Amino acid sequence: MSTAHLFRPFGRFTCRRRITLSLPRTGTSRSYSSITESVEDSISTNAESDQDVLRKKRRTEWKRRQHGQTFLDHIIVHVRGGKGGDGCVAFHREKFKPYGPPSGGNGGRGADVYIMATPHLTTLSSVSPRIRGQAGGSGQGTWQNGRNAPPIIIRVPVGTIVRELERDDQRRSKDEYEAEEEALEGLEPEERKKQLRERRWVHYPTYADENFERSFFKEAERSLYREERERRYWRRQKAKTPIHLDLDKSDEPDNDVDLNAPLGHRRPDTMGHLIAAGGHGGVGNPHYLTTENRSPKFATRGWDGERISLSLELKLLADIGLVGLPNAGKSTLLRALTGGRAKTEVAGYAFTTLNPVVAVIRVADDGSFEGSDGAVYDETWAEAQHEKELMESGALADALTRNQAKAAAVDLAYNPLESFRFTVADNPGLIEEASSNIGLGHSFLRAIERSHALVYVIDLSSPAPWDELRVLRDEIEKYKPGLSPKARMVLANKADLLGGASEDGQEDPQAVREAREKLRKLEEFVEREMKAQLQDSSGNVIGERSLDVVPISAKYSMNLRKVIGLMRQYVEEAREGVDPFPKSVALHDVSK
């Protein structure tokens, strides 16, 4: 290849070696030169026409619709605590005791709803969008109280941010009081009063009208409404400080206690964080027994549980996050680093990647990795097209299927002794003014917020790659101040396009000089303007760190060993001293 001059100081490989295109599904490979014409033909004829770009876009969208539900990183959940059970109106009956005392039991408590971070989950897709706590059991005669409903635990992956939706948020569902108001809306005052009473009181059969006339009942009703006003006041106070939890640590208990064990069995200390309390049970008629009223014929119904709407947002945990403008080649790089295993779409238009994709990189003892065989990673569409052509021409008729290949344990699979693994997140492209919600906005950057290190991917073939870097740094800093010093490396991608490669592989000395000059300028810029300030825990600046600049070609898998080596070093440094199995209870930050 004509770009050897750029990589020479960085990598060990020889750039003139034969590059082969391996097709991961079949294992067939053939010389790169023999397939380039067909691939290039298809690119040149297809890339130009708008219709084809549109077709590719439609295909990506179709794929997203097909597979989009398997991974969820944001969901709105409407939660209801269980309703309390109703109190009971009953009188004790016994032989020779015609007028026994009131004996109605109290209702049981409705289910509380908890949220718990667990390391066993990786996506929010198992969380149901509507969660309803079970109602408490109703009280019964002979002083039998109703059963308390078992609590519900919503399990979410570690790294989930839980936010209660604000009162003015359109997506919020009604709380318990608003729901009642809505049900009574438009009713005549008399009818409204009747319904309100119906929702609060249980009467001894046929005694309802008589109860309403009695002063005991009126007194009880006044005191109930007083209590309710108080409750409503506290509920409003509570809503002023919405729930905001950053579940960064596992809440799972240490031992093997069964969280779903029936009541009465030993329970762990923590069930996570209480987010919606169940309603209290109503009280039975003995509660209203006084010296004046010896046979109260009414009891109260259970209270509604709390209703809240939560937004759950998952911050992915990738060790390294790739950040770059659209079309810089981030997805191509991720595919190259994983030997094509990372299923992330690659195409020549902006915003191909719409969701973050996290892939695991496995590194062997000798520094090799799955993509280190020098394969070519073209646009996914072009590869699929090529594979289709091979299929149609019958070239794959005798090829082993994936399962056969596995069974035969042929050396198609990358299977060396793995010595280190880490995760890398590919992100949608970031553009200038993303903070003003231009392009895809910033929302996806949460995926890399918890990364140990960030890596900028820029297009070296663009006229001024340093401008790209400036935009990226500023946007990241705008998104979260203090995030940009996490950047450790600048990958100058598409280096293969520089150097004036001609058909016969000859280098153009003038173009080579220009390419070298451009790289040098980029390095100078990084050294001058991109230095990261290192701070100690109390915020004092303790030094500066320069970023590594590595020219690569993601498409032709060039210089990637060097990249892997550096990434490994960053991850090792960051993991040092970090407890791999943090266990403490997550913060409950209600300050917002």
As a three-state string, the secondary structure of 2-33 is: CCHHHHCCCCCCCCCCCCEEECCCCCCEEEHH
Q: By rule CB under 5 A, what string of x and - marks binding of each residue 94-113 to Mg ion? A: --------------------
Smallest separation, CB 552 to ligand GTP (Å): 7
Q: By rule CB under 5 A, what string of x and - marks binding of each residue 349-378 to Mg ion? A: ---xx-------------------------
| C-beta of residue 434 within 8 angstroms of C-beta of residue 441 | yes
d(CA 35, CA 273): 58
Calculate helix-pair angle for 32-48, 50-67, nearest 10 degrees.
100
What residues between 377 and 416 interact with ligand GTP by CB under 6 A? 378-379
| C-beta of residue 499 within 8 angstroms of C-beta of residue 6 | yes
β pairing state of 113-118 and 152-157? parallel
Q: Under the criterion CB under 6 A, does residue 338 sit at the interface with ligand GTP?
A: no
3-state secondary structure of 164: strand
Smallest separation, CB 335 to Mg ion (Å): 10
- Which of 3, 331, 372, 553 binds Mg ion (CB under 5 A)? It is 331
Smallest separation, CB 455 to Mg ion (Å): 14
> Residue 491: enclosing H or E segment and its boundaries?
strand 487-493
Smallest separation, CB 443 to ligand GTP (Å): 14
Q: Under the criterion CB under 6 A, does residue 148 sit at the interface with ligand GTP?
A: no
d(CA 97, CA 76): 57
| Residues in the chain, total | 592
341 or 588: CB nearest Mg ion: 341
Smallest separation, CB 157 to ligand GTP (Å): 24
Smallest separation, CB 371 to Mg ion (Å): 16
d(CA 282, CA 302): 4
d(CA 426, CA 435): 19
Using the rule CB under 6 A, give the single segment among 77-85, 286-294, 493-501, 562-570 that binds ligand GTP: 493-501
Q: By rule CB under 6 A, what string of x and - marks binding of each residue 291-330 to ligand GTP? A: ---------------------------------x-xxxxx
3-state secondary structure of 104: coil
Q: Under the criterion CB under 6 A, does residue 347 sit at the interface with ligand GTP?
A: yes
Using the rule CB under 6 A, give the single segment among 33-41, 350-358, 408-416, 514-522 that binds ligand GTP: 350-358
What residues between 557 and 576 interact with ligand GTP by CB under 6 A? none
Would you state the structure tokens that stand for residue 213, as one six-digit string?
Answer: 């006339």
Q: Number of C-alpha atoms within 13 angstroms, CB side, residue 237?
A: 6
298 or 456: CB nearest ligand GTP: 456
Beta strands in 189-242 (DSSP E): 201-203
175 or 379: CB nearest ligand GTP: 379
User: Which partner in Mg ion, ligand GTP, none is near 452 (CB below 5 to 8 A by kind)?
Assistant: none
User: Which partner in ligand GTP, Mg ion, none is near 497 (CB below 5 to 8 A by kind)?
Assistant: ligand GTP
User: Which partner in Mg ion, ligand GTP, none is near 138 (CB below 5 to 8 A by kind)?
Assistant: none
d(CA 143, CA 90): 9
| C-beta of residue 448 within 8 angstroms of C-beta of residue 454 | yes
Q: Under the criterion CB under 6 A, does residue 145 sit at the interface with ligand GTP?
A: no
Smallest separation, CB 242 to ligand GTP (Å): 34
What residues between 411 and 450 interact with ligand GTP by CB under 6 A? 428-429
Residues 6+ apart with CB under 8 A from 393: none
Q: Under the criterion CB under 6 A, does residue 554 sit at the interface with ligand GTP?
A: yes
Would you state the structure tokens that stand for residue 461, as one six-digit string?
Answer: 């073939």
3-state secondary structure of 189: helix
d(CA 61, CA 580): 37
Q: Under the criterion CB under 6 A, does residue 348 sit at the interface with ligand GTP?
A: yes
Amino acid, single-letter form, for residue 247: L
Of 144, 172, 163, 153, the C-alpha closest to 111 is 153
Amino acid, single-letter form, for residue 274: L
Amino acid, single-letter form, for residue 214: R
By CB under 6 A, how many residues form the interface with ligand GTP? Answer: 26
Smallest separation, CB 494 to ligand GTP (Å): 4
Using the rule CB under 6 A, give the single segment among 201-209, 261-269, 347-355, 559-567 that binds ligand GTP: 347-355
124 or 472: CB nearest ligand GTP: 472
User: Which partner in ligand GTP, Mg ion, none is near 486 (CB below 5 to 8 A by kind)?
Assistant: none
3-state secondary structure of 205: coil
Using the rule CB under 6 A, give the single segment among 77-85, 251-259, 264-272, 348-356 that binds ligand GTP: 348-356
Smallest separation, CB 373 to ligand GTP (Å): 16
Amino acid, single-letter form, for residue 314: L
108 or 329: CB nearest ligand GTP: 329
Taking every pair of C-alpha atoms in the chain, what is the biggest distance, in angstroms? 117
User: Which partner in Mg ion, ligand GTP, none is near 103 (CB below 5 to 8 A by kind)?
Assistant: none
Using the rule CB under 6 A, give the single segment among 297-305, 472-480, 483-491, 492-500 that binds ligand GTP: 492-500
User: Which partner in ligand GTP, Mg ion, none is near 379 (CB below 5 to 8 A by kind)?
Assistant: ligand GTP
Residue indicated by tokens 């635990």: 153
| C-beta of residue 123 within 8 angstroms of C-beta of residue 163 | no
| Rg of the chain on CA atoms, in Å | 33
Smallest separation, CB 559 to ligand GTP (Å): 10
Q: Under the criterion CB under 6 A, does residue 331 sit at the interface with ligand GTP?
A: yes
d(CA 483, CA 449): 7
Cα dist from 270 to 80, 128, 306, whole Å: 20, 22, 20
Would you state the structure tokens that stand for residue 214, as one six-digit string?
Answer: 């009695």
User: Which partner in ligand GTP, Mg ion, none is near 329 (CB below 5 to 8 A by kind)?
Assistant: ligand GTP
Given the rule CB under 6 A, which residues bind ligand GTP? 324, 326-332, 346-348, 350-353, 378-379, 428-429, 493-494, 496-497, 553-555
Given the rule CB under 5 A, which residues bind Mg ion? 331, 352-353
